[in-house]
Amino acid sequence: MSTYIVAQINIHNRKRYADYEAGFGAVFAQFDGKMLAVDESPAVVEGHWPYTRTVIIEFPSAKAANAWYKSEAYQTIAAHRLNASVANIVFVEGGP
């Protein structure tokens, strides 16, 4: 069953966040993930959406998603994201 990662991100340091982006692709390519969406201006149809970036990623399983997220390579570049932004990140299990 697919697992989706949804991230709501508020970027407060674009230069430092660019360091995260620069390393992201190479690390992400090592895992079996699929980038579904990256949007800095989604259409809000209900409520309030104060985030500067929204990301949706798909992995074939929770095990694969966790392997990517917890990997040493990702955690190394994630330090840039953590210093440049604040995020809400959830893992969501896909339907049947």
**CATH code for the domain in which residue 48 is found:** 3.30.70.100
> Does a structural domain hold residue 21?
yes
> Does a structural domain hold residue 58?
no
Tell me: the pLDDT tens digits for 70-88?
999 999 999 999 999 999 9
Q: Which of the two residues, 96 and 92, has the higher pLDDT score?
A: 92
Position 58, amino acid: E
Domain count, the chain: 1
**Mean confidence (pLDDT) of the chain:** 96
> Does a structural domain hold residue 59?
no
Cα angle 17-20-21, degrees, rounded to a multiple of 5: 90
Residue 78 has which token pair? Answer: 């994630």
Per DSSP, 10 falls in state: E
Distance of alpha carbon 65 from its chain centroid, rounded? Answer: 11
For residue 95, pLDDT over 80 is answered with no
Q: Give the pLDDT of residue 38.
A: 97
Q: Give the pLDDT of residue 73.
A: 97
> Does a structural domain hold residue 57?
no
Number of helices (H) and strands (E) in the chain: give both, helices first: 3, 4
Question: What range does the domain containing 17 cover?
Answer: 3-52+64-93
